[in-house]
Amino acid sequence: MRPDQLQQGQEQKKQGIDVAVLVSIGRHPTTGRARRAEQDARGLELALAMEAELPGTRISVLHAGPQNDDGEAALRGYLGMGLESMTLLEQPEGSDAILALVEHLAATSPQLVITGARAERGEGSGLLPYALAEHLGWPLVNSLASVEKVENGVVTLLQALPRGQRRRLKVRLPAIISVDEAAPAARQSAFGPARRATFSVTPTAPEADSELAQWHLAPARKRPKRLKIVKAASARDRFKAAASKAEGKGGQVLTDVTPEQGAEAIYKLLKEEEVLR
């Protein structure tokens, strides 16, 4: 790399990017009290880690919802993580947050939007990040584990896969990333800074969510446990199904083989299953 390129690269690094973090009001799973939402807090943690790594990164925290005491106490949970203010897009209870957020994001045009995968209240369908991506036309990456680096408008990410695996992705900015339990845990919220932080309230045109209002919501019932259904026509078969040990499907058994032959058979199976890397 030539010195002037290096200089440019460093400047780019110093410049940082605009990050918008979308937060919602969570719900404590046992008490049902309002709190900072788990996944959104992890998203904010990710943004704060980016700020520490990439000086000059500007974080703006957004929440769309009504302004009331209960909600404010929960939202201050995010502010106590080390923020001075957050933007509250004010709208009445039961409004659709998507349109307000799209308008705001289109106007402020941050380079990276971080959001939790799904809300802990209301419908909680996890459709919001996808709706934003579709409306804004930005790429979306779900289930983020960490942000590795940002350079020249391209961000390198680690995506969490099931079974503890990770995948590296390169995404062109602007982009939306959604965060679930795989991201690093959020830091504690400090009470003093949370009290001192301020809200800047922006009223928005309310758009009632009429569909949700028609649905019937009830506390979750326990799902019925699936029974083991034995479809046997005769008493003998039913008895066999109930009493006998489950037998294997009769796998391949290699006896009297040299260790090399045995190892080869195992190696073939591992290759077929694609577990060897």
Partner 1 sequence: MSETIRRDQRRDPRREWIARNRLHPEHASVIAALGGTGGGAAAVSEWLGPNGVVRKNPRAIGFIGPNGVKRIDRSGLQQGEQSTATATAARDSRRTVTIDQPAFLVAVVPDLTGGRLSGHDKDLLGLARRLADADAEQPGAVVAILFGEHKGEGGGELKEQALGEAGIDRVVQLDDELYAGFAPETRLAALSAVERVMAPRFWLLPDSPLGGADLGRRLALRLGERAATGVWQVEADNEAALGWRCTARGAAGSLDIQRPLSRVALALAECAEPVDETRHAAEHLSLATSIPTTLSRIEDLGQVAVDPAGVALAEAEFILSGGNGVKEWDAFHHAAKVLGATEGASRVAVDDGFMARDRQVGATGTWVTARVYMAVGISGAIQHLQGIQRCDKVVAINLDPGCDMIKRADLAVIGDSTQILAALVAMVEQQRGGQRDAA
Q: Which of residues 110-139 bind partner 1 (CB under 8 A)?
A: 118-127, 130-131, 133-134, 139
Peptide bond preceding 219 in cis form (omega within 30 of 0): no
Contact predicate 184/45, CB 8 Å? yes
Least Å distance, CB 123 to partner 1, is: 5
249 belongs to the binding site for partner 1 (CB under 8 A)? yes
Mode of pairing for the β-strands spanning 154-160 and 166-172: antiparallel
277 belongs to the binding site for partner 1 (CB under 8 A)? yes
Largest interatomic CA distance in the chain: 85
276 belongs to the binding site for partner 1 (CB under 8 A)? yes
106 belongs to the binding site for partner 1 (CB under 8 A)? no
Of the candidates 211, 213, 243, 244, which one interacts with partner 1 according to CB under 8 A? Answer: 211
Other residues' Cβ atoms within 10 Å of the Cβ of residue 191: 11
For tokens 């804004």, the residue is 136
Query: Within 170-189, which residues bind partner 1 (CB under 8 A)?
Result: 170-172, 175
Distance CA 160, CA 56 (A): 27
Q: Which stretch binds partner 1 (CB under 8 A): 8-16, 54-62, 64-72, 211-219?
A: 211-219
Least Å distance, CB 34 to partner 1, is: 13
Residues 6+ apart with CB under 8 A from 106: 136
Which residue lies nearer to partner 1 by CB, 2 or 221? Answer: 221
Q: Which stretch binds partner 1 (CB under 8 A): 2-10, 51-59, 78-86, 152-160?
A: 152-160
Burial 128-139 (b: 16+ CB within 10 A, else e): bbebbbeebebe
Amino acid of residue 227:
L
Contact predicate 101/63, CB 8 Å? no
243 belongs to the binding site for partner 1 (CB under 8 A)? no
Least Å distance, CB 259 to partner 1, is: 4
Contact predicate 42/178, CB 8 Å? no
Distance CA 188, CA 197 (A): 16
Which residue lies nearer to partner 1 by CB, 2 or 163? Answer: 163
Tell me the number of residues near partner 1 by CB under 8 A.
82
Least Å distance, CB 241 to partner 1, is: 12
In DSSP terms, which residues pair with 151 in a beta bridge?
154
Q: Which stretch binds partner 1 (CB under 8 A): 3-11, 77-85, 107-115, 221-229?
A: 221-229
33 belongs to the binding site for partner 1 (CB under 8 A)? no
Task: Supply φ then ψ for residue 140, to 5 degrees.
Answer: -130, 135
Q: Which stretch binds partner 1 (CB under 8 A): 40-48, 50-58, 62-70, 164-172?
A: 164-172
Sign of the CA dihedral with 9 first, then 11, 13, and 15 last:
negative
146 belongs to the binding site for partner 1 (CB under 8 A)? no
Which residue lies nearer to partner 1 by CB, 205 or 229? Answer: 229
Between the CA of residue 181 and those of 8, 75, 112, what are the distances in Å?
36, 20, 20
237 belongs to the binding site for partner 1 (CB under 8 A)? yes
236 belongs to the binding site for partner 1 (CB under 8 A)? yes
